[in-house]
Each structure stands twice: as structure tokens, then as C-alpha cells.
């Protein structure tokens, strides 16, 4: 089995911005090394460049756009991320939805550049729609929007749907991940039980008084066979 993945999404939380994001990256780097799990941090976009100078191998961009270098304003070129040493991005997060035809274009662009996409979906139906368009990225992440930031985890409160999601991903040869409401060890254990190969967590880490604690506890669980 490949290393499991643990994505910490800073969103635009103040607690995950600037030097606080740098701290999370420091912890992510150590946990990746100590537990053999791929721990990645998605810093606020405005912080990405300066953090990439030190931690590019542990950064996942929060988003990417279809533009290249040149005449565009307010977009994130894939090429620029690659030049900064970042080869992976979230896409279609519930808080930043992307039309499916644009997702397909980005998927095709990513394939030719070895750029990995973690495409978020809100339901198994959305997953099916993207699979029917032959979009088979590095990973899909199931995040039911109503559970995001709720403290009620996807693995406990949407277990059946999660199971269908992971099975469908596996059939398609895509890594299944999940996120939303994950706050404790049991949530992580259940996610693995339902077939997830990794997790995405935001508030449960970023707003924790001592983020290192859950980072290490969750990494420890994700490292188990």
C-alpha cells in the first residue's frame, strides 16, 4: 500500500495564516518523517509563495486555474506552482466550486505535467459524473458540505456513502480520501475502516490549541497497516 495521505487545510483561518501556517508545515514535515505518512498543508493562497521557499514538498495548493504564464489576473497558473516546487493541488472544494468541464481541462493539463489533483466531490453522484467524463485524477476527496466545520465527521455521519465512494474510486483506480468534521482518533479509524486512504482536516487541527498533538495522533493512526 502507498503511504496514506493527511491534508491539513488552513483555509483562510487566522490561526492558519502567515507564521502559523509555517509552524503547521514544520509539524507536517516532522510527522511525515516520523510516521511515514504523506502530511501536506494547504496554506492560505497569499502565504503559499514564501512558504514554498522552505517547505515546497509539503505544500498542497488550495486551488489551481487553467491559465498559464501571461495575460491573466487573479488566477493561479499550474506552471507557476510547479516552478515553486509544488506539484499537487486541491480542486473543486465546496468553498470554491469549479465547473466540471474546467475540472476536466485541468485534469488533462495535470496529467501531461505530472501535477497531481485532489478533486473534492460533495456526493457519490458528483463522483460518478466526473468519472463518466474520464476524469481519473490522483485522488478524489469526499466532503459532504453540510458536515464541513461541524465537528460531526464524514466517517461517523456519512459512513455508508463513504463506503460507496471508496469502492467506486478503487474500481476506477483513484485514491479515495475523505474530509469534513474530523476531530478525533475514532473519526480517523472509521475513515480507514470505510476504505479511505487518507483524510482532510481543517478546523480540528488549525483551531486546536496545540495542533502538534492531533497531527501526531492522527498520523500515528494513518501509519498503521
List interacting residues with ligand G3P (CB under 6 A). Answer: 9, 93, 143, 148-149, 179-182, 200-204
The residue (of 7 and 51) whose beta carbon lies closer to ligand G3P is: 7
Q: Smallest gap, in angstroms, from Cβ of residue 161 to ligand G3P?
A: 16
Alpha-carbon distance of 94 to 75, in angstroms, equals: 18
Q: Given the complex with ligand G3P, which of 58 and 173 has the nearer CB atom?
A: 58
> What distance, in Å, lies between the first and last C-alpha atoms of the chain?
8
**What stretch of H or E contains 91?**
strand 88-91
Q: How far is the CB of 126 from ligand G3P (least distance, A)?
A: 15
According to DSSP, the residues that pair with 198 across neighbouring strands are 5
Residues 6+ apart with CB under 8 A from 137: 91, 107, 110, 116, 117, 118, 119, 174
CB of 181 to ligand G3P, least distance (A): 5
| Number of Cβ atoms within 10 Å of the Cβ of 75 | 12
Active site residues: 93, 143
How many beta carbons lie within 10 A of that of residue 188, not counting itself? 27
For residue 42, the minimal CB distance to ligand G3P (Å) is 7
Amino acid at each position: 500500500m502507498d503511504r496514506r495521505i493527511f491534508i491539513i487545510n488552513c483555509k483562510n483561518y487566522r490561526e492558519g495564516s502567515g507564521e502559523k501556517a509555517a509552524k503547521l508545515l514544520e509539524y507536517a514535515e516532522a510527522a511525515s518523517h516520523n510516521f511515514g505518512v504523506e502530511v501536506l498543508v494547504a496554506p492560505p493562497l497569499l502565504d503559499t509563495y514564501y512558504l514554498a521557499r522552505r517547505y515546497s514538498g509539503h505544500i498542497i495548493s488550495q486551488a489551481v486555474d487553467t491559465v498559464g504564464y501571461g495575460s491573466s489576473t487573479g488566477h493561479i497558473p499550474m506552471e507557476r506552482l510547479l516552478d515553486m516546487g509544488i506539484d499537487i493541488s486541491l480542486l473543486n472544494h465546496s468553498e470554491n466550486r469549479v465547473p466540471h468541464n474546467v475540472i476536466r481541462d485541468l485534469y488533462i493539463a495535470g496529467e501531461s505535467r505530472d501535477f497531481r489533483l485532489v478533486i473534492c466531490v460533495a456526493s457519490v453522484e458528483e463522483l460518478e459524473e466526473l468519472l463518466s467524463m474520464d476524469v481519473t485524477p490522483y485522488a478524489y476527496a469526499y466532503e459532504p458540505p453540510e458536515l464541513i466545520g461541524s465537528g460531526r465527521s464524514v466517517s461517523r455521519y456519512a459512513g455508508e456513502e463513504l463506503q460507496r465512494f471508496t469502492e467506486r474510486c478503487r474500481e476506477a483506480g483513484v485514491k479515495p480520501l475523505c474530509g469534513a468534521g474530523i476531530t478525533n482518533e475514532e473519526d480517523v479509524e472509521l475513515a480507514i475502516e470505510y476504505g479511505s486512504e487518507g483524510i482532510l482536516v481543517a478546523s480540528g487541527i488549525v483551531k486546536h490549541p496545540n495542533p502538534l498533538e492531533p497531527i501526531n495522533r492522527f498520523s500515528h493512526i494513518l501509519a498503521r497497516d
